[in-house]
Amino acid sequence: MTILIISQIIFNIVISLAVVVVAILISVIAYDIIKFMKSVKKLSDDINRESGEVYNKINKFLEGILTLSFVSKLFKKKKK
Protein backbone atom coordinates (compact mmCIF):
# COMPACT_ATOMS: atom_id res chain seq x y z
CA MET A 1 0.00 0.00 0.00
CA THR A 2 2.74 2.45 0.78
CA ILE A 3 4.24 2.10 -2.72
CA LEU A 4 0.87 3.01 -4.23
CA ILE A 5 0.59 6.11 -2.02
CA ILE A 6 4.17 7.19 -2.79
CA SER A 7 3.64 6.71 -6.52
CA GLN A 8 0.43 8.79 -6.37
CA ILE A 9 2.26 11.60 -4.54
CA ILE A 10 5.09 11.56 -7.11
CA PHE A 11 2.57 11.51 -9.96
CA ASN A 12 0.70 14.50 -8.47
CA ILE A 13 3.96 16.44 -8.05
CA VAL A 14 5.01 15.70 -11.64
CA ILE A 15 1.60 16.75 -12.98
CA SER A 16 1.69 19.97 -10.92
CA LEU A 17 5.16 20.82 -12.22
CA ALA A 18 4.06 20.09 -15.80
CA VAL A 19 1.07 22.43 -15.42
CA VAL A 20 3.32 25.18 -14.03
CA VAL A 21 5.83 24.75 -16.88
CA VAL A 22 3.07 24.85 -19.51
CA ALA A 23 1.53 27.96 -17.91
CA ILE A 24 4.90 29.73 -17.90
CA LEU A 25 5.48 28.73 -21.53
CA ILE A 26 2.08 30.05 -22.58
CA SER A 27 2.65 33.34 -20.74
CA VAL A 28 6.07 33.81 -22.38
CA ILE A 29 4.62 33.15 -25.83
CA ALA A 30 1.73 35.55 -25.16
CA TYR A 31 4.15 38.25 -23.99
CA ASP A 32 6.26 37.85 -27.15
CA ILE A 33 3.16 38.03 -29.35
CA ILE A 34 2.04 41.25 -27.63
CA LYS A 35 5.53 42.71 -28.03
CA PHE A 36 5.57 41.75 -31.72
CA MET A 37 2.15 43.32 -32.30
CA LYS A 38 3.29 46.57 -30.68
CA SER A 39 6.42 46.69 -32.82
CA VAL A 40 4.39 46.08 -36.01
CA LYS A 41 1.99 48.88 -35.03
CA LYS A 42 4.92 51.23 -34.37
CA LEU A 43 6.45 50.30 -37.74
CA SER A 44 3.14 50.98 -39.46
CA ASP A 45 2.82 54.36 -37.75
CA ASP A 46 6.40 55.26 -38.72
CA ILE A 47 5.78 54.30 -42.35
CA ASN A 48 2.59 56.40 -42.43
CA ARG A 49 4.39 59.39 -40.94
CA GLU A 50 7.35 59.09 -43.32
CA SER A 51 5.15 58.67 -46.38
CA GLY A 52 3.13 61.73 -45.34
CA GLU A 53 6.34 63.75 -45.03
CA VAL A 54 7.53 62.60 -48.46
CA TYR A 55 4.14 63.46 -49.96
CA ASN A 56 4.30 66.97 -48.47
CA LYS A 57 7.86 67.50 -49.74
CA ILE A 58 6.88 66.40 -53.26
CA ASN A 59 3.89 68.76 -53.20
CA LYS A 60 6.08 71.67 -52.10
CA PHE A 61 8.61 70.81 -54.80
CA LEU A 62 5.95 70.72 -57.51
CA GLU A 63 4.41 73.98 -56.28
CA GLY A 64 7.87 75.57 -56.44
CA ILE A 65 8.39 74.38 -60.01
CA LEU A 66 5.01 75.69 -61.14
CA THR A 67 5.64 79.12 -59.65
CA LEU A 68 8.83 79.66 -61.65
CA SER A 69 8.31 82.21 -64.36
CA PHE A 70 9.73 80.26 -67.29
CA VAL A 71 7.75 77.16 -66.42
CA SER A 72 4.53 79.10 -66.13
CA LYS A 73 5.17 80.56 -69.58
CA LEU A 74 5.38 77.04 -70.97
CA PHE A 75 1.97 76.17 -69.60
CA LYS A 76 0.18 79.34 -70.72
CA LYS A 77 -2.36 78.90 -73.47
CA LYS A 78 -1.30 80.44 -76.72
CA LYS A 79 -3.71 82.93 -78.25
CA LYS A 80 -4.30 82.76 -81.98
Element (H, E) at 23: helix 2-67
What pLDDT score was predicted for residue 56?
87
What pLDDT score was predicted for residue 11?
96
Q: Where are the domains of the chain?
A: 2-67
Q: Does the pLDDT at position 71 exceed 80?
A: no
Report the alpha-carbon distance of residue 16 to residue 12 in Å, rounded: 6
In this predicted model, what pLDDT tens digit does every residue of 25-56 receive, in sequence order? 999 999 999 999 999 999 999 999 999 889 88
> CA–CA distance from 43 to each of 31, 39, 47, 54, 74 (Å)?
18, 6, 6, 16, 43
Q: Does the pLDDT at position 68 exceed 70?
A: no
Selection from 18-32, 44-58, 60-74 with the highest mean pLDDT: 18-32
What pLDDT score was predicted for residue 74?
65
